[in-house]
Structure formats: C-alpha cells, structure tokens
A and B are shown apart, each in its own frame.
Chain A
C-alpha cells in the first residue's frame, strides 16, 4: 500500500483565496483525522471521521474551515477565505481502528498564505 497520500505537498496562496487540501487514506481504514502543525501550537487535531461521518470537529478553528469525506477513499479540508495565520503543515492520518491506536500519517501539505 502506498500509505496515506496527501496533495498538494506545498501550497502558496494569497490571503482571501480558497484553499483545498486533499487526502487519500489507506484502503480499508475507516477512521480519518486531519491535523495542523505549527511551531507555536504543535500538533492540533482539527476533525475526525469514522466511516465517512464527521464524529468530532471541535478542533476546527473557525467557520472558514470545513472538511468533507464523500467516500471511504477521499477527504478534503477547505479553508475559505484563507488568512496568513492559517500557514502551517496540515496532516491527514488514517487508522483501521475507531480508537486510532495505529494511525498512519501522510507526508503533509505545507500551506503558506501570503
């Protein structure tokens, strides 16, 4: 298996633009997580899906952020409009188990909003 695949690897966008990050989880994994990593705040869980259903989105910072999982093999994280403070590395992770004890991370998308 190719592991968790995220795209793009790098994204540079202007403030106010819409940004869409994509994730393909490992086949057969039914839990999917979106994380954000910054120097200041470390790793933060944004949202968690189980069987394509959002279970906990309490980590989503504001209404500008939204996430979808239309099927078991694809998820998106959208920021609209983007702001410079959204600059971070965004990771997607997937797990076979609902409790996520063995979550596998993608390589991340480095987002820079200028």
Chain B
C-alpha cells in the first residue's frame, strides 16, 4: 500500500532555517500536503502542492517537490519558537482525499 515516511525529530536554533523532509511511494499521488499540529490541537493545513508543480512559496514556507524521487520538503525560513510543533506530510490521489495517507510526523523543536 501507500507509504509516507518522515524523520521523527528535528532540532534547530531560532532564526535558522528548518527543512523537513518526506518521501512517498504512491506514484499516483496528485496532492501533497503539509500539516502542523501543536500540542493538544488538531491538524492545521499549512500548504499543499499539486504534483505538476516543483515549488510553492508562501511567506516563510517553501515547498519543494521532486516527483522523480518522490521527495517532498518543507522549508521554514527564520524559524521561530512558535513553529515548534509536529509537522505531517500527506498525499492523496486525484479526487481521492478519502484515500489520503499521512506520514508519522516530524517533531520540530526550536531552541531559543
């Protein structure tokens, strides 16, 4: 079945850039998502990218997609302590959000 993998933990210093990586196996993936989960809260959709795009930028967030390698990354510029959270990568095929597959999440710790 589909699989989405992420490293479990990332620690960065405040002000540095964070890069969270994700790999997926489903070649029919059309939508790729990044969600943020703060303690005791639900998932917040940060951004998503269509598989026909290579890059998407939104303020401090940059998403890069390497479709050939099935590799997705989320870069957070000027990381702040408020960015500390768990970040989930997810993918779904076209028209099939109900078939979305989430990664295990990467816990980002920002050190002041």
Contacts and interface: CB of A to CB of B under 8 A. Distances in A.
A1 to B, nearest CB: 15
B34 to A, nearest CB: 13
B15 interface: no
A81 to B, nearest CB: 27
Interface in A53-102: 55-56, 91, 93, 95, 97-102
A4 B92 CA distance: 22
A104 B31 CA distance: 16
Given A31-B97, A101-B31, A101-B48, A42 B40 contact: no
Contacts of B94: 99
Given A33-B98, A42-B102, A48-B98, A103 B42 contact: no
A26 to B, nearest CB: 12
* Chain A contact residues: helix, strand, loop or mixed: strand
Interface residues of B, number: 22
B95 A99 contact: yes
Contacts of B40: 107
A108 B43 CA distance: 9
B45 A42 contact: no
Contacts of A98: 95, 97
Contact of B42 (A31, A95, A100, A105): A105
B88 A43 contact: yes
Contact of B105 (A42, A105, A106): A42
Given A42-B105, A43-B88, A100 B41 contact: no
A105 B98 contact: no
Interface of B: 31, 35, 40-45, 48, 88, 92, 94-100, 102-105
Interface of A: 4, 31, 33, 42-43, 45, 48, 55-56, 91, 93, 95, 97-108
